[in-house]
Amino acid sequence: MSFLVITHVRKSFGGAPVVDNVSLQVPRGEFFALLGPSGCGKTTLLRMIAGFETPDSGTIAIDGETMNAVPPHQRPTNMVFQSYAIFPHLNVFDNIAYGLRKLRLPKDSLRAKVEAMLATVRLEGLGGRAADQLSGGQRQRVALARALVRAPKILLLDEPLGALDKRLREAMQLELRAIQRKVGITFVLVTHDQEEALSLSDRVAVMEGGKILQVASPRQLYERPVSRAVADFIGEINFFHATVREITAETATVNAGVLGVFALPAANLAPGIKAGDHILLAIRPEHVRFSAQGVAGEILTSTFLGERSHFHVRIPGRTKPVAVSGHAPPAGAAHLVFPPENLIGLPSNR
Amino acid sequence: MVADRGRNSHEGYVLLAPTLAVMGLALAAPLLLMAITSLKTQNGLGFADGWTLAQYGEVLGRASYRALFLRSVLISATVTLVTVGLAYPMAYFVAFHTRHKFIWLVALTIPFWTSYLLRVFAWKIILGFNGVINSGLMKLHLIDQPLSFLLYNPFAVVVTLAHAWAAFAILPIYLSLEKIDRSLLEAASDLGDSAVRRFLRITLPLSMPGVIGAAILIFVPTTGDFVTPELVGGTKGTMIANLIEVQFNAAGNWPLGAALSLVSMAMVAVIAGLFVASARAATKAAR
Amino acid sequence: MKNRSLSVYAFAYLAFLYVPVLVLPVFSFNDSQFIAFPLSGFTTRWYAGLAADTALQHALGNSLKVGLVTSLLSTLLGLTAAKAVIHYRLRGTGPALAFISLPLFIPDIVLGISLLLLLSAVGLPLSLAAMVMGHLLVCVPFALTVLIARFEGFDKNLEEASTDLGENGWMTFWRVTFPLMLPGIAASLLLTFVTSFDEFLVAYFLSGTEATLPIYIWGQLRFPERLPTVLALGAIILTVSVALVVLAEYVRNLGVKKVMVGA
């Protein structure tokens, strides 16, 4: 039985639906991400789970209990806000202890809980610090500790790392992952940063225009996107127009015009594609190889990125250059090779 | 992130209602009543039946009343100019040239924690025949006779009011100067402006909202003040408010008083409106 | 450098502001009934005279009563209106605010007179209650300005965070909203009290038989022999005000340096 069950939830603010017939299931203990561009409805969905917005239709159930009629302060969820929302008139200790006050725990037990949480988020000894004396990274950890100390069934995070600089963000990502593993609570993270979603989560739901495009593990999303929108959103990818000649149990034969004819594994085709369909053939830049023979091309730009370089290569019959990621080509003409096992077939209309 | 409060907006109206009701009762209804009263004539302790525009005819017809209106407007305008003009450098100093802003602001507002009436009276003492200035100048043998032009004339009214309303000028101007993004000033310097040019092209225009606000905040109430003219204005410095006050006390002609009030209110509103409009236009044109 | 002349100007301006104010204490200790130079010597008899002046004390009491009620009511009205306007997206917010702020742009004498007309038309007597009503007109716009500025700087997420952490509406208000609004509320209370306490023009028309302090002072200004006593009162009010401000600042800084709790 899934822990968080969202069924046919719809929400609009007086115009087009912001969340359009979304259904999701998240098992207990999973690190789940809602990924999408601004305005795709992911934050609204998160706020509906927290109880700050009510669905127009559909249900949200947590651990078997329907939550629609439950107000936010009675839900077994806690949220880390994008702005952190640290109470400015309370110090770190009182901020973290805020949600525990009504439990009327004995003083020692309260202190022990808070200090354990301070240790978990690595802010030991800073209990007495005033709110306005915290750095961005510290505020983020206080917000996290404050939410976690109540041991919610689900922790909701609304773009928690957006305000941090790159290095801090990467460090926090690792910590967040470690904390989630340690406490074992279900995390639902909202973000527009696909790298973040892919590196942190067990599974990701890609959203656009209020709808879910695909729910899958990061690897699956990267290697087997089911639509152009998903493929485009996650990482960089090259698209070529092609037609499916025939499909057998093992192989699909695809005619890609200037690039030639390819025989790819049938599993590389998105579900629902039949023989004769016009498709988009897609391949990631790091899978395109330079070789002595293949499609002749002309290198337009080359950018050195450290462990690898990025190239834009023009090939005949195609205006947009092919993105290639790898090491420098052999001297002389650049020829491109497209290994069939790395080619993905996607539906041509969205 | 827009949280829709559509569902709860009736709560918002409920919260707003009491304040609107109180202000409506205490402001709209009385003003309406004043308009009604201005259309009547006094008859002993009450009003005669029937409506008439006679009061307005009197207000606008009498040359002495018209002269009084003109004088009041001129005095208030002068007060506004002097107060704002003197206050601007002070506000500028606090905004840009000191680290102890709070102390300065407190020091600047403390004088206004004394009774307004006593402050006006204090100016009477200072400007008077035997007052501080005259005694001091005589002691220093700079004059033989006390100066008589200091008191009981428009000059005294202007000085007293300029002092009384100083805080109302300093604070709005200070706030709008404080709001100016310091990096704008740095950018101007970086692009070649001297300190003076930068002031004229950036600081002054950006502080205009505060200046305009201060001007209106001072101009409007000073037209309605009868205390200062009565205490230090003498006969040459009376203002329209003195005339209005008399109608409600000694002369007992409420309709005339009401008509005078409404006319002066309308006049002040029109002038203020013209001022704001032209100030805004001037600021835009100067870009 | 411009800096120098500006500093000189600033201090000169400050002197200009304080000179009339200093007249009060100087002549309140002057041993002469006439407020004129030269000074006649030191005395405290005018201060002693204050204790015997029952009319003055009565007026002072009235001013305190009116001031207190006005400040509480106008702050409350300003608070509800500010919250309504900032937290809820209501239609007609602009016009509503403009209407509430209207008294700032109408001469006080007009406000006083029009209320006088209202009371006389309805047949109600002039009284301290009438004065409170008039003062509300004058003070609510100030309260509203202060409180709106305070609300605007308020992170809305804070109330949501409190709800998220388990507190219902009332507790959220008590534990988060109210403490954070307190400085704004205190500022509003203070501003409106001071405004009401010193307000003369509106009170003048609405006072009837009960005088407030400014009205009492106005009456005294015609009697030269009563003046030094009045100045003594003015000097006391000034001292008390300054002391209050200093105290308030001290208390405020105490709060800021709060020593850690529970560390």
Dump pLDDT digits (tens) for C139-172.
999 899 888 888 877 777 898 999 999 898 888 8
- Among A13, A43, A82, the residue with its CB nearest the CB of B4 is A13
SS (H, E, C) chain A: CCCEEEEEEEEECCCCEEEEEEEEEECCCCEEEEECCCCCCHHHHHHHHHCCCCCCEEEEEECCEECCCCCHHHCCEEEECCCCCCCCCCCHHHHHHHHHHHHCCCHHHHHHHHHHHHHHCCCCCCCCCCHHHCCHHHHHHHHHHHHHCCCCCEEEEECCCCCCCHHHHHHHHHHHHHHHHHHCCEEEEEECCHHHHHHHCCEEEEEECCEEEEEECHHHHHHCCCCHHHHHHCCCCEEEEEEEEEECCCEEEEECHHHCEEEEEHHHECCCCCCCCEEEEEECHHHCEEECCCEEEEEEEEEECCCCEEEEEECCCCCCCEEEEECCCCCCCEEEECCHHHCEEEECCC
pLDDT at A156: 95
pLDDT for residue B257: 86
Burial group, residue B153, by CB count within 10 angstroms (0-12, 13-18, 19+): middle
Q: What is the mean pLDDT of chain A?
A: 89
Cβ of C107 and B225 within 8 Å?
A: yes
Q: Region B125-139: what's the mean pLDDT?
A: 77
Largest CA distance in chain A: 77
Residues of chain C with pLDDT under 50: 1, 256-263
Q: What is the mean pLDDT of residues A143-168?
A: 90
Contacts of A340 (CB under 8 A, 6+ apart): A262, A263, A264, A265
Compute how many other C-beta atoms are within 10 angstroms of the C-beta atom of residue C9.
15
Which residue in C has a C-alpha nearest to residue A51's C-alpha?
C164
Chain C residues with CB-CB distance to A82 below 8 A = 157
Q: Can you give the pLDDT at residue C13?
A: 93
pLDDT for residue B178 is more than 70 = yes
pLDDT for the residue A332 = 64
What is the C-alpha end-to-end distance of chain B, expressed in Å?
A: 35
Task: Report CB contact under 8 Å: B3, A82.
Answer: no
Residues 6 or more apart whose Cβ sits within 8 Å of residue A235: A194, A222, A284
Distance of CA C263 to the CA centre of its chain: 41
Region for residue A166 given its phi and psi (left: phi exceeds 0; alpha: psi -120 to 50; beta: otherwise):
alpha
* pLDDT at position A274 over 60: yes
Q: Does the pLDDT of residue A208 top 80, yes or no?
A: yes
Interface check B73 vs C, CB under 8 A:
no
Instruction: Indicate the pLDDT class of residue A146, thresholds 50, 70 and 90.
Output: very high
pLDDT for B121: 85
- The C residues from 147 to 206 touching A (CB cutoff 8 Å) are 155, 157-158, 160-168, 171-172, 175-176, 179-180
Q: Can you give the pLDDT at residue C252?
A: 64
pLDDT, average across residues B125-154:
78
Phi-psi region of A84 (alpha: psi -120 to 50; beta: other; left: phi over 0): left
Residues of C in contact with A125 (CB under 8 A): 263
- The three-point CA angle B132-B138-B143 to 5° equals 120
CB contact under 8 A, A102 and C166: yes
Residue C161 Cα, gap to closest chain A Cα (Å): 7
User: How many percent of chain A have pLDDT more than 70?
Assistant: 98
Query: How confident is the prediction for chain B on average, in pLDDT?
Result: 83
pLDDT for the residue numbered C254: 61
Subunits next to A (3 or more Cβ pairs <8 Å) are B, C
Q: Is A202 buried (19+), middle (13-18) or exposed (0-12) by CB count in 10 A?
A: middle
pLDDT of amino acid A331: 66
Ranges A115-129, B40-54, B85-99: which has the least confidence = B40-54
Q: How many CB atoms lie within 10 A of CB A19?
A: 27
- Burial letters for A55-78: b for 16+ Cβ neighbours within 10 Å, e otherwise? beebebbbeeeebeeeebbebebb
ipTM of this predicted structure: 0.81
The backbone torsions φ and ψ at residue A88, rounded to the nearest 5 degrees and listed phi first, read -70, -20
Does the structure show a pLDDT above 90 at A215? yes
User: Is the Cβ pair C80, B106 closer than 8 Å?
Assistant: no
Q: Which residues of A touch C258 (CB under 8 A)?
A: 91, 130
Question: What pLDDT digit, counting tens, does each position of A19-60 carry?
Answer: 999 999 999 999 999 999 988 899 999 999 999 889 999 999
- How high is the pLDDT of residue A111? 92
- Hey, which of A246-260, A321-335, B140-154, B189-203 has the most confident mean pLDDT? A246-260
User: CB-CB: which of B2, B3, B6 is closest to A52?
Assistant: B3
Q: Chain B partners of A52 at a C-beta cutoff of 8 Å?
A: 3
Interface membership of C114 toward B (CB under 8 Å): yes
Q: What is the average per-residue pLDDT within B170-195?
A: 84
CA distance to partner chain B, nearest, from residue A161 (Å): 17
User: Is this model's pTM higher than 0.80 or not?
Assistant: no
How would residue B209 be classed by pLDDT, with cut points 50, 70 and 90?
Answer: confident
Higher-scoring residue by pLDDT: A61, C102: A61
CB–CB of B163 and C115 under 8 A? no
Residue B142: pLDDT band by 50, 70, 90 thresholds? confident
The pLDDT tens digits for A313-345 are: 888 888 888 888 888 776 666 888 899 999 999
Nearest to C109 among B3, B89, B244 (CB): B244
B287 pLDDT band (50/70/90 cuts)? low
Higher pLDDT, A202 or B35: A202
Q: Give residue ranges of B with CB < 8 Å to any A CB.
A: 1-4, 6
Q: Which residues of chain C lie closer than 8 angstroms to A85, CB-CB?
A: 155, 157-158, 160-161
